Amino acid sequence: MKARILVVDDEETIRKLLKSRLEREGHEVITACNTEEAQAAFGAGAEVDVLVTDLKMPGKDGFTLMSWAKQAKPDICIVVITGHGEKDAAIKALRLGACDYLEKPFDMDELSHTVARGIREGQLRKDNHDLISRLEARVERIEGAAEDQFWYVSKATAMNKVNDWLTVLRREGMRGTAEEPTVLITGESGTGKEGIARMIHAASRRGKGPWVAVNCANFNEQLLESELFGHERGAFTGATTLKRGLFEIAKGGTLFLDEIGEMDIKVQAKLLRVVQERVFRRVGSNFDLHADVRVVAATNWDLELRSREGFFREDLFHRLSRVVIQVPPLRERSEDIVPMAAQFCERAFRARGKAFKGFSPDGESSLCSYGWPGNVRELLNVIERVALVWTGEGLVTARALSLPSASLPIGPANGPRLELVKPNPLLEIGVESYTALKKRWSESFEREFLTATLNKHGGNVSAAAREAKLDRSNFLRLLRRYGLRADVFRKAA
């Protein structure tokens, strides 16, 4: 088995001797005279399989190099060279993770045998780690299948473009193309964007690899950077051990970046490098790691608008949007609602040992007339609630569904008539879609509310957050979203 070997010794004669012998055996050999040169060799991107190092060297000794190398590449095999009578040093090296040691003067055949054994052990450890990763990925896929058991493949006209893109990507996956495009999935919250992303992953050549998902809105800048790229021990306060990032964990698979519109602009710059160059660095590291990962992202923001406003990098947007899949809201897929609800009911009822016999006419009418602002997620929650409390044997009625009374008749027979409310003329009905109007008015309200609250408290973020009954970190996130700076209000106060 051939390997790349790094030989580190301050004696040139030993370096040349070891290099000559190991190269004759077919290995690729790099040499260094001290710890600093060895670290530079790692930093140059060399994938070192075996480290052969002396323990006593000028400057940083071999123990320092061993610890550093184990952090940089946990699977590396280390063979140490000790002087005659240095048994204690050899034992310490073994405890620090060395595979074996050679005592000077050593026999060259013994060197070859020790290195060969170390290569086999290193490969075995790597295979074990890969096996564990595959098992973890399988568990993740099984758990994902459990999470997606209520996913419904739509046949609605509004979903034609989505289904067309899934067909195209499935064909690309069957061809086994080496370069798979990044995908950006957009749509309102609850429309099933992660379900679409899982279908893309399952149909790709990476379908048997890991599926790793992260919600970018759940982390601040530093935590998200560490979560995605990992960190070295000592990279920052609290980093007591080496941490593998999600780009390492998802090797050979798909990394799903949910709510990518909430990602901090500084992390966006580092993500751009990964998407462009397929390399990344752990926080606190000096060398690059290869990113063998397909990126699928999702957002309910208009990222093109966000990029024009300066909240999202335009170059990253263009890199992510090679394929854009717009998932329509449930209210635009009315023909899906009853079949989808029936499928959800069958599975939810069966899981609880109950029989689902269908919906009554008023039940179907109630499902179709409701607006479903929470989309598929809300429908699933309603069905889960019905399945939980259902005790009847007949059809599921509107009363059992207990949907909000948006679909009640305006004039009940024995009660007051509901008065029609005149529409606000500023809504420009017919000029913009419901979704566009809702987002524009929501953003306008949020910006004005934040401005008024900051102005009232003279730029005091903590006081403003308390009045808004928001967590301070969430309040700050909203300020960043709208480009509002608290110091401007302090100056004005």
pLDDT at 234: 82
Pairwise CA distance, residues 371 & 378, whole Å:
11
Instruction: Identify the pLDDT of residue 104.
Output: 79
Would you say 324 and 164 are in contact if contact means Cβ atoms under 8 Å apart?
no
Quick check: do 4-123 and 332-407 share a fold? no
Q: Is 107 helix (H, G, I), strand (E, B) or coil?
A: coil
Residue found by looking up tokens 């397929």 in the block: 278
Tell me which fold the domain 154-326 belongs to: Rossmann fold (3.40.50)
Q: Phi/psi at 114 (nearest 5 deg)? A: -65, -45
What DSSP line would sit under 136-183, residue for residue? Answer: HHHHHHHHHHHHTTT------GGGHHHHHHHHHHHHHHHHT-S-PPPE
Alpha-carbon distance of 262 to 300, in angstroms, equals 10
CA–CA distance, 396 with 361 (Å, rounded to integer) = 9
Question: CATH assignment of 4-123, given 3.40.50.2300, 3.30.70.980, 3.40.50.300, 3.40.710.10?
Answer: 3.40.50.2300
Alpha-carbon distance of 217 to 215, in angstroms, equals: 5
CA geometry: angle 193, 141, 294, nearest 5 deg: 60
Q: Alpha carbon of 114 to those of 6, 23, 43, 91, 158: distances in Å?
A: 15, 15, 26, 16, 65
332-407: CATH topology: Helicase, Ruva Protein; domain 3 (1.10.8)
| Beta pairing class for 50-54 and 279-280 | unpaired
Structure tokens at 363: 């039940």
In this prediction, residue 242 carries a pLDDT of 85
What is the residue extent of each domain of the chain? 4-123, 154-326, 332-407, 432-492
Q: Tell me how long the chain is.
A: 493
Q: What pLDDT was estimated at residue 267?
A: 93
CB 351 within 8 A of CB 315: no
pLDDT for the residue numbered 406: 43
C-alpha distances in angstroms, 356 versus 15, 345, 351, 396? 76, 7, 11, 8
Rounded Cα distance between 281 and 274, Å, is: 9
Q: What is the mean pLDDT of each run of 10 residues along the chain (493 residues)?
A: 83 87 87 85 70 85 84 81 76 82 82 84 73 58 45 78 89 73 92 90 87 90 91 82 90 93 92 94 89 94 88 93 93 90 90 91 92 90 91 88 60 36 46 60 78 84 85 81 75 42
The pairing of strands 77-82 and 100-103 is parallel
pLDDT of residue 408: 38
Q: Which helix (H) or strand (E) segment is 244 a member of?
A: strand 243-244
**Of 8, 52, 4, 2, residue with least CA distance to 28:** 4
383-386 CB contacts, 8 Å cutoff, 24+ apart = 383/341, 383/344, 383/345, 383/348, 384/348, 386/345, 386/348
Both structure tokens of 185: 């999935």
Distance between CA atoms of residues 287 and 100, nearest Å: 27
435-450 confidence digits (pLDDT tens): 666 666 777 778 888 8
* pLDDT of the residue at 410: 34
Helix ranges, 218-360 (H): 221-229, 246-249, 265-277, 303-308, 314-320, 334-351
Q: What is the pLDDT of residues 147-162, one digit of tens each?
A: 444 456 677 888 989 9
Q: Longest C-alpha distance within the chain, in Å?
A: 105
In the prediction, which pLDDT does 493 show?
A: 37
